């Protein structure tokens, strides 16, 4: 048997902790920040360029980093917005901690980023009135927290490692589909279900590959090749699996607008289909109006949404609110998941979702334990 470690699962989730530490920005101020995103990134970039005319001495051991590009500044704002919307510095602090590690791995100084953040705050301040204090406080808290060690993850994973995992990871990085499929076949021969292989081998390998990119050990092209190979071998094995008879339930799956990470959603799709659900998987970055329109058109009993980062929280909350408002009392059950929620399961309440599962195996358990009311498809009056 190649399974080498099994940690008992934390079958129950940690209790949902309250998240807000400051009063969130008012809806109006938040909308102002969102509408000024482009403008602020451009303005802050210009200010930084101007300031760079007389750059401070970077010091003997601090490599001089280029100033942030507009795209980077825009990304920073996108991760700041969920903190402003919730009054909680954690989303932005987590993002800064990640950014710090990415820059360190590339021998880039972090200080220019702090300069960029301060420039953006200066550009936003005139538009925020007294709420500028919230922005300042959140920035300070996030920068301080990002300098501390990362807090323990709130949701302990069911963590099964396979001895073949390093070889599988290498096969993905080489784009070697035959080798990857042969390793998967080894596990299947040992009696492992496809879904267990997806969740405990493929997902883990991609997470390791993400870490290797973060540490600057592999290139973006290598990561893309590995992800493409993983998607192909998953689809290949899935196509060879007999499906059970349909169970009469429909599930519509999508990555929320802005989320381009679709492999996890495909695993959720496989899980539901292998359990007899009729599934439509809309894949990456689904525009919210089109998602809502498809819910109305197809009338699933379950909607499953994927979020990878905290910067997807507001879009997800908006999508859920729009689905509920469009469907009224016949709204489907809405389940969420993705890395953003695995880091902070308590966001489920913020989103207004009905449920959360940490992985594709979990969504199945949840769906089977509490199937939604008969699919609205069975009732033409519904939704
Ligand atoms: C592949 C990849 C990409 C690909 C995705 C392609 C594709 N077709 O999916 C591309 C190139 C598009 C990409 C882009 C980016 N990425 Co990326 N990406 C990854 C990588 C390496 C693997 C993702 C993956 O497939 N993981 C495996 C799947 C199975 O895991 P998963 O999605 O979490 O899904 C599991 C659970 O979360 C759950 N689940 C997921 N969805 C749902 C939904 C429901 C309803 C349920 C119940 C459960 C559930 O089930 C799955 C397992 O069973 C990760 C590394 C990592 N840690 O995952 C980085 C990673 C997520 N990316 C990262 C970054 C920074 C980015 C970019 C910002 C990079 C950039 N500069 O542009 C962009 C942002 C794009 C965007 N707007 O979304 C960072 C995020 C860091 C952070 N701040 O947290 C990571 C962690 C890499 C790293 N270590 O630095 N990325």
Ligand 1 site, residue 339, Cβ cutoff 6 A? yes
Residue 259: per-residue pLDDT: 97
Look at 322 and 61; give whichever has higher pLDDT. 322
Task: Quickly tell me which residue has 């989320």 as its tokens.
Answer: 259
pLDDT digit string, tens, across residues 113-129:
788 888 888 989 999 99
Average pLDDT over the chain, rounded to whole?
85
Q: Give yes or no for a contact between 236 and 183, defined as CB atoms under 8 angstroms apart.
A: no
Strands in 250-255's sheet, in edge-to-edge order, are 278-281, 250-255, 302-306, 333-337, 355-356
Ligand 1 site, residue 357, Cβ cutoff 6 A? yes
For the whole model, what pTM was predicted? 0.89
Residues forming a β-bridge with 58: none
Q: Is residue 60 scored above 70 in pLDDT?
A: no
pLDDT digit string, tens, across residues 177-199:
999 999 999 999 999 999 999 99
Q: Is residue 1 scored above 80 in pLDDT?
A: no
Comparing 1-10, 108-117, 325-334, the range with the smallest average pLDDT is 1-10
Q: Is residue 153 scored above 70 in pLDDT?
A: no
Instruction: Select from 344, 347, 311, 255 the least CA-distant residue to 95.
Output: 311
39 CA distance to ligand 1 middle (Å) = 28
pLDDT band at 373, cuts 50/70/90? low
Average pLDDT over residues 289-293: 98
Task: Quickly tell me which residue has 């966001």 as its tokens.
Answer: 347
Residue 67: per-residue pLDDT: 64
Ligand 1 site, residue 264, Cβ cutoff 6 A? yes
Residue 360 corresponds to which tokens in the numbers above? 């594709």
Of all protein residues, whose CA lies closest to atom 7 belonging to ligand 1?
261
Residue 110: per-residue pLDDT: 78
Query: Around Cβ 127, how many Cβ atoms within 10 Å?
Result: 15
Q: Give yes or no for a contact between 32 and 131, defined as CB atoms under 8 angstroms apart.
A: no
Top mutation candidate among 160, 339, 358 for ligand 1, by most atoms within 8 Å of CB: 339
Look at 308 and 13; give whichever has higher pLDDT. 308
pLDDT band at 13, cuts 50/70/90? very low
Residues forming a β-bridge with 254: 305
Residue 360: per-residue pLDDT: 95
Look at 66 and 15; give whichever has higher pLDDT. 66
Ligand 1 site, residue 259, Cβ cutoff 6 A? yes
376 CA distance to ligand 1 middle (Å) = 32
Of all protein residues, whose CA lies closest to atom 51 belonging to ligand 1?
264
Average pLDDT over residues 159-175: 90
Residue 41: per-residue pLDDT: 85
């Amino acid at each position: 048997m190649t399974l080498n470690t099994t940690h008992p699962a934390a079958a129950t989730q940690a209790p949902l902790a309250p998240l807000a530490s400051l009063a969130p920005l008012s809806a109006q101020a938040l909308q102002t920040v969102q509408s000024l995103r482009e403008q602020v990134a451009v303005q802050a970039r210009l200010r930084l360029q101007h300031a760079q005319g007389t750059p401070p001495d970077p010091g003997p051991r601090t490599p001089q980093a280029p100033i942030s590009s507009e795209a980077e500044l825009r990304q920073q704002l996108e991760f700041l917005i969920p903190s402003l919307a919730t009054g909680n510095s954690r989303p932005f602090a987590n993002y800064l901690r990640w950014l710090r590690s990415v820059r360190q791995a590339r021998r880039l100084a972090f200080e220019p980023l702090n300069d960029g953040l301060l420039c953006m705050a200066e550009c936003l301040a005139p538009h925020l009135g007294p709420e500028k204090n919230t922005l300042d406080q959140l920035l300070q808290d996030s920068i301080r927290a990002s300098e501390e060690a990362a807090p323990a993850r709130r949701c302990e994973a069911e963590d099964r490692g396979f001895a073949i995992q390093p070889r599988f990871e290498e096969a993905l990085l080489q784009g070697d589909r035959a080798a990857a499929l042969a390793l998967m076949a080894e596990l299947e021969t040992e009696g492992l279900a496809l879904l267990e292989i997806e969740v405990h081998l493929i997902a883990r390998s991609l997470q390791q590959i993400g870490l290797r990119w973060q540490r600057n050990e592999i290139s973006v092209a290598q990561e893309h090749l590995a992800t493409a190979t993983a998607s192909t071998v998953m689809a290949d094995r899935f196509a060879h699996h007999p499906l059970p008879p349909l169970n009469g339930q429909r599930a519509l799956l999508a990555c929320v607008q802005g989320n381009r990470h679709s492999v996890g959603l495909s695993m959720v799709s496989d899980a539901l289909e292998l359990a007899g659900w009729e599934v439509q998987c809309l894949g990456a970055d689904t525009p919210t109006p089109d998602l809502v329109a498809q819910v109305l058109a197809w009338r699933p009993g379950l909607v499953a949404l994927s979020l990878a980062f905290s910067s997807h929280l507001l879009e997800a909350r908006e999508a859920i609110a729009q689905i509920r408002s469009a469907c009224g009392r016949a709204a489907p059950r809405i389940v969420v998941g993705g890395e953003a929620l695995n880091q902070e399961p308590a966001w489920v309440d913020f989103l207004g979702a009905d449920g959360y599962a940490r992985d594709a195996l979990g969504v199945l358990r949840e769906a089977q334990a509490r199937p939604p009311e008969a699919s609205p498809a069975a009732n033409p009056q519904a939704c």
